[in-house]
Structure 1
């Protein structure tokens, strides 16, 4: 099949329209199991690659150990998720730019071409003030795409709080010069956005997709795709036919799965959903 350059759908020699998009597994999807377990399950269940979520698991923080896992299991690492969560505030120090720098170092070490990063928290004022420009400069210097992820306002029954700066919405004017973005379906759901419309709005700035689902709750649910209310199937079919040549990464919450067997069942279901809706379509006669 002909691989798309991102300029639009292509027709391969097999008469199918669109690039063949591979599906990766985020190591976050196996939590509370380890990063090592994520690599093992990704290979055994048939994923094409791995996204490493840098978190509290010390293995995920160690560049050499991550490289060893990729080599040992013979599976590529397509992306590194920088430590942006509240519970990872002390991972790789307190300097957010230092965390992002180390994330790009890990990406280069393991051959990943994308680093995923969240917008700054509002209280990270200096970081937020130069975030968009700083990301562009780091991309230019490192050669690694830094894909800023869509977030959401924090909501309760009585109020909505803006906690990200310059904005939680990566389609907003604050990110007009941002070249690469990540679309997380669960975050879109929590923000009460439509993931299909979001994908369309991002256009060729869409580099990375966190495949999941949500019910519109104020809680960031990360459901198995197809179990929520987002138009996930239509969104995947849209990107499959639009020349998208980035990564699709299953990032679901399996903490309440009840054990390894159900966790793997959920992962298999998510992978099957992705492959079904990303399948190249027949070209028009």
Structure 2
């Protein structure tokens, strides 16, 4: 008997997969396609910021929220005010909606005070609120052919003593690193996975469907299944500019990819 048969890794759908992001439609789509849970990215959309409204969607669609993505993107800098306030509110929301993990980007290099104590600050909030804050791997930016470090203390979370990390395959492609190698390096500190891909030919992240880029996505999922990893793999692919029908085809193919390589099909 396959040793992974009795251990199923959940597959979630991120609200970022629907463009423009639609929280209710993400819940509906996740149920229709057979996803296990939803990851809510906090944006300027009021619904994404309200635990009560999110819990109503959980009840309506009978699907849980497994992760909250803190508003730490460049485009969400105005959401929830100052940097540490974002993390505190994300932690509270995570508890309020019954999620398991917060996905957080590292600070931008101009957020000097925030970056200075980031590793310790993340740990303090995580322990105080009883939630996992999984810092996501990012990538160096490029300007005029030169690498530009946009994140502090660094885009690579494995250089620091974070308790938890999120691994994103598209970001790994943009950084030109091998995901399987890094996931093995992270080990038990892996708290969350963003299922996507990238060619490695672009200076920014592409969020391709898994299997459409250069990253060893299949091999990494198989490794996690073999290790009986205790976490959630969340689809985070770009469907911008696609019709609803084509978008759903892409999301279903992504789910099937995950199931196949996690030993669930």
- Indicate whether the TM-score tops 0.5: yes
Q: Is the 8 A contact 1:16 1:280 kept in 2?
A: no
Q: How does 1:29-44 map to 2 (within 5 A)?
A: 29-44=17-32
Equivalent of 2:155 in 168, 188, 193: 168
Matching residue of 1:266: 250
Q: Distance in 1 between matches of 2:219 and 2:162?
A: 25
1:33 Cα deviation from its structure 2 partner: 4.3
Equivalent of 2:132 in 137, 145, 150: 145
Q: Mind listing any 5+ residue stretches in structure 1 that lack a counterpart? A: 1-14
Q: Is it true that 1:249 corresponds to 2:234 in the alignment? A: yes
Matching residue of 1:238: 223
1:58 Cα deviation from its structure 2 partner: 1.7
Q: How many aligned residue pairs are there?
A: 262
Q: Is it true that 1:213 corresponds to 2:197 in the alignment? A: yes
For each residue in 1:52-76, what CA deviation from the matched residue of structure 2 results, as whole angstroms up to 9, or x when unmatched? Answer: 0111222111222112111211101
**SS of match in other structure, 2:203:** coil
Q: Distance in 1 between matches of 2:40 and 2:21?
A: 13
Q: Distance in 2 between matches of 1:238 and 1:101?
A: 33
Q: TM-score under structure 1 normalisation?
A: 0.89
Q: Distance in 1 between matches of 2:119 and 2:204?
A: 27
Q: Is the 8 A contact 1:26 1:53 kept in 2?
A: yes
RMSD: 1.3
Matching residue of 1:4: none
Matching residue of 2:90: 103
Q: Is the 8 A contact 1:241 1:280 kept in 2?
A: no
For each residue in 1:149-175, what CA deviation from the matched residue of structure 2 results, as whole angstroms up to 9, or x when unmatched? Answer: 000000245111001111110111xx1
Deviates more, 1:150-159 or 1:208-217: 150-159
Q: How does 1:1-285 map to 2 (within 5 A)?
A: 15-18=1-4, 19-93=7-81, 95-156=82-143, 158-172=145-159, 175=160, 177-216=161-200, 217-257=202-242, 259-279=243-263
Q: Is the 8 A contact 1:240 1:280 kept in 2?
A: no
Query: Which segments of structure 1 move beyond 3 Å, counting only runs of 4 or more?
Result: none
